[in-house]
Structure 1
Amino acid sequence: MSGSAPTLWRIQVQVDRIQLRCLCLGALPRRVMTRPLNLEEVGRRAGVSRSTVSRVVNGGPNVSSETKRRVEAVIAETGYRPHAAARSLASNSTGVIGLVIPSAVATLFDDPYFGRLILGISSATNDVSMTLALFLFGAGPDESSIISRVVTPGLVDGVIVTATTRGDPLIDHMQGTSMPFVVVGRPDNAGSTFCVDVDNRAGARTAALHLAGLGRRRPALIAAPSNTTAGVDRRNGFLEGLAEAGLSVESRVAEGDWSQESGRDAMARLLADRPDAVFVASDRMAVGALRAIREAGLHCPGDISVVSFDGIVPPDLTSPRLTSVVQPVTEVGERAVRLLTAVIAGASTPEHVVFPTELAVRESCGATPTAEPGA
């Protein structure tokens, strides 16, 4: 309903806890199941007091190395996990990292980019023994009030924000708080912000030079939304590459919204200008473009070479297999977590991490396929 507040979904995943529940359904030792594991029980087995166990668990002072060894041995033997809330009070830490994605739920699960990003973030979060909390909401006038809920003290230790639009107000809201945060993407106002991104501009330039090297002389462009930094960088990089090769798109430009359907519609419009190649700014839009080419009775790559950007659509799902500029999305997510833990620990000098891309040459461009990235 128009004017209603955006809905906030919160999903928590704690891998260790899930594994523990699975064990409880199977063959846990009887002694674990007959007496609840708590500080008192761990202390009884280690021959120390409850307060001593608490100091060991929370890294407190005045514990001898021998006592610490005995307590840690009991913890390892029993699989004891400290109560999250109690540990938070003792350490002033929640052990939770928030991931903020300004997107509707349907969009999130329809776009494989976010799946890979969450995979990388959740894997790295688990590596540092933290929990991932996922916050999803659409952009709107009540966005700032939702951010204020996300950064409420005691909810999360830090936040990873995905920057999708230029002048993203999310970044301004976060910069006005004391909450540690890292941005995935390149926000316009990145000067004092920790961020992780891929080199969208250089990747698109590589695509242009590749098509020019294949002898294509009438290139077209299906651009990503012009209100996104990734979209602008990919557009500019492609045009720069064409200029280096003495080419231009002239009027052969159409803009999509990242979706397959928008790619299909954009390609259908561009076919009237008879391009012999097209660079599509995302894999999902490229899938739609391939469909439009088939529907027009044309052949890829014989009539039109296609190169896309992302590398997130499995190549065997398209015919022909899609040549794409591959961005290391999972690695971006992992690095964002490592960067955020450094910010939480006190890092104050902004760091901008930029990952290189790699062109995966497959059948859709007309060139001889090369080895898959990482092979």
Structure 2
Amino acid sequence: MTTLKDIAHDAKVSVSTVSRVLNGDQTLAVSHTTRQNILDIAKKLNYTPVRARKADQAEEKSPSESPVIGVVVAQSIDEELNDPFFSSIRKGIEKEYAKQGLSTLHTFRLRSMDKGTMLKEIDGLIVIGRISPDTVEKMTNRMEHIVFINHYADEDLYDCVHVDFVRAADRAIRHLQSLGYTHLGYIGGKEREHYFEGNAVIEDERQTTFMKRMQETGALHMEDIHIGEYSMQEGYTLMQQAIKKGKLPQAFFIGSDSMAIGAMRALHEAGLHV
């Protein structure tokens, strides 16, 4: 029986790419020629998807059959390009899924989904990013198996994998202070909760932790807090603005790697040593 690995070998692409093409994932950045080549090879090798085999056999799924897993991404493609944090999570999921020999992984963009669509054919769901509880309920109709990544959801109902931003931010700030820096600045983005219709800005624990800690030590300077969007370009722009103001802080706590890279570029261009 033909497998995804056989098709991937002939098409000279990864197993996860084959899986996403055969499952009609339109979010995959692959050329039309490559996509068509995969489809042609699958047809030539008489590959039958797991779901089709299930329908033909008209019997319940056996314990050994690959489950159908959905991945819902809160961010748009443009947002992923601006902040690679979320795309790295998605790609990691796809890589591990293929590594486990599983074949039915469907990827959805929240804003591209029909508001009334329920994920009825999905056995389990992985949600990347902050999606409002009401939106999740509409989307899944109280699906049992859901894992949230980078989001605090109702932990009585769901499993969550997230960063403790309060503890991490506090440790970073205390580290800078232990090195003797007293005048600290902050550069960060806006944390958002996503809906079908759009998104809303919510509390960013990195920023609020920074402000609380600085206030406790009597060193909070609001003019040294710079907020934009979580992207490399915004980190660059915000640091440029801070440099133009003059009287730079001794050190900066920056909310993401991509913003930090942009900020360092601005400092280097200004002839400032990091």
What letter corresponds to residue 207 of structure 1 in structure 2? A
Q: What are structure 2's unaligned runs of at least 5 residues?
A: 13-46, 194-200
SS in 1 for 2:253: strand
The question of whether the paired residues in 1 share the 8 Å contact of 2:188 and 2:255 is answered with yes
Map of 1:57-72 to 2, 5 A cutoff?
none
The question of whether the paired residues in 1 share the 8 Å contact of 2:90 and 2:128 is answered with no
Aligned residue number for residue 289 of structure 1: 263
SS in 2 for 1:257: coil
The question of whether the paired residues in 2 share the 8 Å contact of 1:259 and 1:285 is answered with yes
The question of whether the paired residues in 2 share the 8 Å contact of 1:161 and 1:181 is answered with yes
1:243-263 CA-to-partner distances (Å, cap 9, x unmatched) read 565633443111121112221
Q: Distance in 2 between matches of 1:230 and 1:239?
A: 16
Are 2:60 and 1:91 equivalent residues in the alignment?
yes
Q: Distance in 2 between matches of 1:143 and 1:199?
A: 33
Map of 1:1-375 to 2, 5 A cutoff?
17-21=3-7, 84=50, 85-87=52-54, 89-92=58-61, 95-126=67-98, 127=100, 129-138=102-111, 144-145=115-116, 148-149=117-118, 151=119, 153-154=120-121, 156-164=122-130, 167=132, 169-174=134-139, 176-178=141-143, 180-187=145-152, 191-227=156-192, 232-242=204-214, 247-271=219-243, 272=245, 273-295=247-269, 297-301=270-274
Q: Distance in 2 between matches of 1:173 and 1:131?
A: 23
What letter corresponds to residue 281 of structure 1 in structure 2? G
Q: Distance in 1 between matches of 2:184 and 2:176?
A: 8
- CA drift of 1:169 comes to 4.5
The question of whether the paired residues in 1 share the 8 Å contact of 2:188 and 2:259 is answered with no
Q: Which moved more, 1:278-287 or 1:219-228?
A: 219-228
The question of whether the paired residues in 1 share the 8 Å contact of 2:153 and 2:160 is answered with no
In structure 2, relative to structure 1, the CA distance for the partners of 1:19 and 1:86 (3 Å cut) is closer
The question of whether the paired residues in 1 share the 8 Å contact of 2:124 and 2:143 is answered with no
Bigger Rg, which one: 1
Identity rate of aligned residues, in percent? 22
Q: Distance in 2 between matches of 1:119 and 1:25?
A: 20
1:193-252 CA-to-partner distances (Å, cap 9, x unmatched) read 321112222111111111112221211111220435996122233334445656334431
In structure 2, relative to structure 1, the CA distance for the partners of 1:220 and 1:25 (3 Å cut) is closer
In structure 2, relative to structure 1, the CA distance for the partners of 1:104 and 1:186 (3 Å cut) is closer
SS in 2 for 1:198: coil
- CA drift of 1:144 comes to 2.5
In structure 2, relative to structure 1, the CA distance for the partners of 1:169 and 1:276 (3 Å cut) is farther
In structure 2, relative to structure 1, the CA distance for the partners of 1:103 and 1:143 (3 Å cut) is farther
- CA drift of 1:170 comes to 3.0
In structure 2, relative to structure 1, the CA distance for the partners of 1:184 and 1:25 (3 Å cut) is closer
Normalising by structure 1, report the TM-score: 0.51
The question of whether the paired residues in 1 share the 8 Å contact of 2:86 and 2:129 is answered with no
Aligned residue number for residue 197 of structure 2: none
The question of whether the paired residues in 2 share the 8 Å contact of 1:97 and 1:130 is answered with no
SS in 1 for 2:143: coil
The question of whether the paired residues in 2 share the 8 Å contact of 1:223 and 1:280 is answered with yes
Query: Number of aligned pairs?
Result: 224
What letter corresponds to residue 115 of structure 2 in structure 1? S
